[in-house]
């Protein structure tokens, strides 16, 4: 059975003006779809086709010969998490257990935001910045291309796509403005909390 692109969890114009309908049209409808199409072509008739996306990512991460499969599986999975990590009227200050966990690991929620923003802005070229739970602590990391916390055994809690296709139509070269808007207006802290609970945090 082929892998299938999940629909967006909200209408394409739901995140405007912070993330436009046009951006979601291309980012979900073309880029995310392409990762699924490529992955299905690459794993067709191979034993990998019967695994989950997570299993494919872990299985292919350390095999340079399978880089094409890894990249497309990881990007398919990364975006599956990225869409529900945002919501209309999101962002701002988290409350409850995620706020407590961020304060415990970073000193304060604001310190976490500073660190997350610095990681997202300084990732050179295409990639992601992440908040993950790894070995009992919350960590901010940045990765190139499709690499994600699954590769190092972490649980992903929040991620921001900093490939240019994620922000260029709305922010052109102003990546810092995109990252700040993501934190201020878009983050779905309820979903982040749900992922934290699932990860045992």
- Chain contacts with Mn ion (rule: CB under 5 A): 161, 163, 166
Name which of 161 and 170 has its Cβ closer to Mn ion: 161
CA 138 to centroid of chain Cα atoms:
16
Comparing C-alpha atoms, which of 183, 200, 181 is closest to residue 115?
A: 183
CB 145, min distance to Mn ion, A: 10
- The CB-nearest residue to Mn ion is 161
Say if residues 155 and 135 touch (Cβ distance below 8 Å).
no
Name which of 166 and 183 has its Cβ closer to Mn ion: 166
Query: What is the C-alpha separation between 18 and 169, in angstroms, rounded?
Result: 11
CB 79, min distance to Mn ion, A: 6
The SS3 assignment for 93 reads coil
Name which of 72 and 193 has its Cβ closer to Mn ion: 72
Comparing C-alpha atoms, which of 47, 67, 45 is closest to residue 55?
A: 47
CB 141, min distance to Mn ion, A: 17
Name which of 30 and 44 has its Cβ closer to Mn ion: 30
Backbone phi, psi, residue 191, to 5°:
-70, -40
Q: How many residues does the chain have?
A: 201
CB 12, min distance to Mn ion, A: 15
The radius of gyration of the chain from alpha carbons, rounded to an integer in Å, stands at 16
Name which of 163 and 182 has its Cβ closer to Mn ion: 163
Name which of 16 and 49 has its Cβ closer to Mn ion: 16
CB 199, min distance to Mn ion, A: 23
Say if residues 133 and 201 touch (Cβ distance below 8 Å).
yes
CB 46, min distance to Mn ion, A: 25
The SS3 assignment for 130 reads strand
């Amino acid at each position: 059975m082929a892998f299938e692109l999940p629909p967006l969890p909200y209408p394409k114009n739901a995140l405007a003006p912070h993330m436009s309908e046009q951006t979601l049209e291309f980012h979900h409808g073309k880029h995310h779809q392409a990762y699924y199409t490529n992955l299905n072509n690459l794993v067709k008739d191979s034993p990998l086709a019967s695994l989950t996306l997570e299993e494919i990512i872990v299985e292919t991460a350390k095999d340079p010969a399978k880089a094409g499969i890894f990249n497309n599986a990881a990007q398919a999975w990364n975006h599956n998490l990225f869409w529900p990590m945002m919501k209309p009227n999101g962002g701002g200050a988290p409350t409850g257990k995620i706020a407590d966990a961020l304060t415990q690991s970073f000193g304060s929620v604001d310190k976490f935001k500073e660190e997350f923003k610095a990681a997202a802005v300084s990732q050179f070229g295409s990639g992601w910045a992440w908040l993950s739970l790894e070995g009992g602590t919350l960590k901010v990391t940045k990765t190139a291309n499709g690499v994600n916390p699954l590769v190092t055994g972490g649980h992903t809690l929040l991620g921001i796509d900093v490939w240019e296709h994620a922000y260029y139509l709305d922010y052109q070269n102003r990546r810092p403005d995109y990252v700040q808007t993501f934190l201020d207006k878009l983050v779905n802290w309820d979903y982040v909390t749900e992922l934290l609970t699932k990860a045992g945090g």
